[in-house]
Chains A and B, each alone.
Chain A
């Protein structure tokens, strides 16, 4: 209901604004993400972040008097849909660049089109390692940038953290069978081997699975003291609560895929004692970020998650580029590629962002945990 009211209000505002702004066409940015299907809830997070940034810029008069319009393209987190959507983005001359894709698998499938046609994209969330190698064209120009760390960094970080800080010895792993889950698991397992952390079992699952009791029953007999959930919060919450039901008393941990307030809503008290790495820690953020967090909560009625924060910044970076060099794809790419030192970086709510030669942002990971039904920063960070 709320949505409908919002849409109506937005439509009314758009009509009012349309009067004086008729002369100028809006500048379009693409937001390809899943808005239907199993991963639609994550797409919702990204959309909330982008919407806030676009509204902010538009309220301030747009860029050169032109309004910004975000075009939301649904690819359902499916590689073949993503490839189709990418062609659509590339062919629409009015689209100057985009924020997306959300899923690593989808981003990988869409990447060749962006690189070939020269469309600058900033993914707020795709963490898979192989993206780094595939985002440059023949001249070595990078077209896809990332406002997030990579899985190999995150997986290695997690292994070090649970071993050094939490003192865990035997880990059981649940991983989602996609580029994200497997990449993270592999990086974790490789680091675990070198630091003497024992992995007693690794069980895969596909998105949308609701019952994990058979795998948990099998893992329980191996007496792990830590449960690594290498996937997203939907399934993660089910794994945590079913583990509790089966009487498994273990420390749960995972990566940024677990970070959403729905994880706590769904898993209830089974969520307590879950650690996770995140690229954005609300409690540790500066005053600008605090204002963003408060505004987000007011507008969306829920706590901000890292996906929304990263999407907000990714849209901010793209629009800063448009503002500086105008609505031209090639010039925007040059602008983003030149953000290669801390001095030339973009200061957003998630901190300072600048890119290496592969278009990857150098971002640190923070650890937060669930305590008494709330997210709090972990007592000890590892940086």
Chain B
């Protein structure tokens, strides 16, 4: 049973991780908690399902298209809601973020209705639902492996972009000091837009994976997932990309074990207790660096 719980937790965890990177990257670059990120995750699932049902696109085309739409939406959210407040008090941007989140959630409800929908299963290759292998009590389906595979390859891709490319270097520089970047002639707004696009694409992917895995999508699905991913980002050390991945996986496993062995009513409690404990004993998160005053 423990092995199966670990598989359950890991599946949840990698998805949290995928959403959490979006939070952490935006925070790293402009020190804003983008609460609308959970809605990007939800919209990713809705876009993908709509492209399949309304336009008849195959899954392999609908996924990148949905990610692209969410990237553009992410950029738009930044331009509309956050850019005008770039030099305002940080609280102002936080409040617009919450407003944006509520707005997008209700917009989705107006467009698609409030009823939960099934993910178009006909578009999903049947083999994914089949069992890949089992040892003892544990069963792993191809869909599990698909989720792990996609998540890890996206994580590696993200690492390469941040570590090896010019724009990745600019992102890291921006995270250190915005004024200096501007003085060096870096187009700060372009780098921020790129960060939003990248984070939103990953969030959209997470939404699509969840919709495929649970066969359900609904307009309010982003809220809880967003809060959990935010917790994961804080757990790993907000601003740190490897921290977000690690935090997501730790949170997913803590939740699965908490629900399986303690009581399912405490599953969120266990997850948040882990987060609180980390914040108390290691305020910068598990993989976060100690805060340096940026004055």
Contacts and interface: CB of A to CB of B under 8 A. Distances in A.
Interface of A: 3, 35-38, 40-41, 43-44, 177, 203-206, 208-211, 213-215, 217-218, 221, 234, 237-238, 241-242, 245-247, 262, 265-268
A205 B115 contact: no
A41 B118 contact: no
B216 A266 contact: yes
Interface of B: 1, 4-5, 8-9, 11-12, 106, 109, 113-118, 121, 139, 141, 210, 214-216, 218-221, 223-224, 255-261, 263-265, 267-268
B215 A218 contact: no
A35 B220 CA distance: 12
Given A38-B220, A41-B115, A44-B113, A218 B261 contact: yes
A37 B210 contact: no
Given A37-B220, A205-B265, 11 more contacts: A41-B115, A209-B224, A214-B257, A217-B1, A217-B5, A218-B259, A218-B260, A238-B214, A246-B139, A262-B115, A268-B215
Q: Which 4 pairs show the lowest CB-CB distances between chains A and B?
A: A40-B114, A214-B259, A214-B260, A204-B265
A335 B58 CA distance: 59
B139 A247 contact: yes
Contacts of B265: 177, 204-206
27 contacts: A36-B114, A38-B220, A40-B109, A40-B220, A41-B116, A44-B113, A204-B264, A204-B265, A205-B265, A206-B265, A206-B268, A210-B224, A211-B8, A211-B214, A213-B4, A214-B8, A214-B258, A214-B259, A214-B260, A214-B267, A217-B4, A218-B259, A241-B215, A265-B117, A265-B118, A266-B215, A268-B215
A71 B46 CA distance: 30
Given A210-B214, A234-B218, A203 B264 contact: yes
Contact of A208 (B109, B115, B214, B224): B224
Nearest to A244: B129
Contacts of B11: 213
Main secondary structure of the interface of B (DSSP, over half): helix
B286 to A, nearest CB: 22
A268 B118 contact: yes
Main secondary structure of the interface of A (DSSP, over half): helix
Given A41-B115, A210-B210, A262-B115, A215 B216 contact: no
Contacts, number: 97
Contacts of B257: 214
Contacts of B259: 214-215, 218
A215 B121 CA distance: 25
A36 B139 contact: no
A266 B211 CA distance: 11
A266 B261 contact: no
Contacts of B4: 213, 217, 246
Nearest to A4: B110
A268 to B, nearest CB: 7
B153 to A, nearest CB: 23
Given A204-B263, A206-B265, A211 B12 contact: yes
Nearest to B15: A211
Contacts of A210: 210, 214, 216, 221, 224
A215 B264 CA distance: 6
B9 A214 contact: yes
Contacts of B255: 214
B202 to A, nearest CB: 19
Contacts of A238: 214, 216
Contacts of A215: 259-260, 264
Nearest to B129: A245
